[in-house]
Amino acid sequence: MGKIILRLDRVMADRKMSLNELSEKVGVANVNLSKLKNGHVSAIRFSTLIALCEALDCQPGDIIEYEK
């Protein structure tokens, strides 16, 4: 079975955005964003995804990848 990988660190690096800055823009705690970055979550809400896409000016596909 394949898995979903979050590429948040790559997009953040492209945008030259720090975790603290993103945390302020998205309104999600630093700790939780860190969990997202390291893939220590089992699900992500649409509202969080929308906030991330708005803050990073990207598409959901840029953040989420499916790997076989």
Partner 1 sequence: MENTNIKKINTAGLVGYILSVILIVGAIVAMVCIVLCTIGAITISDNNINVKIATNVEVNSTGNFLEKLGSFISIDGIDNLNAFTEDAKDGIKVNDEDLSELQIQENDGGFVVNAKTNEITISMKRIIVALIAAIVLLVFTIYALFTVKALMKALKDCSTPFSEEVIKRMTRFSYAIICVVVLNTLLSGCWSSLTSKFTYKININLESVLLVAIIYILTVVFKYGAKLQQESDETL
How far is residue 33's CA from residue 24's CA, in Å, rounded to a whole number?
11
Rounded to a whole number of angstroms, the minimum distance from the CB of residue 10 to partner 1 is 18
Count of beta carbons in the 10 Å neighbourhood of residue 39: 14
Q: To the nearest whole angstrom, how small is the minimum distance from the Cβ of residue 42 to partner 1?
A: 4
State whether the Cα torsion 58-63-64-66 is positive or negative: positive
**What mask, x for binding partner 1 by CB under 8 A, covers residues 27 to 66?**
-x---x--xx---xxxxxx--x------------------
Q: Which residues bind partner 1 (CB under 8 A)?
A: 28, 32, 35-36, 40-45, 48
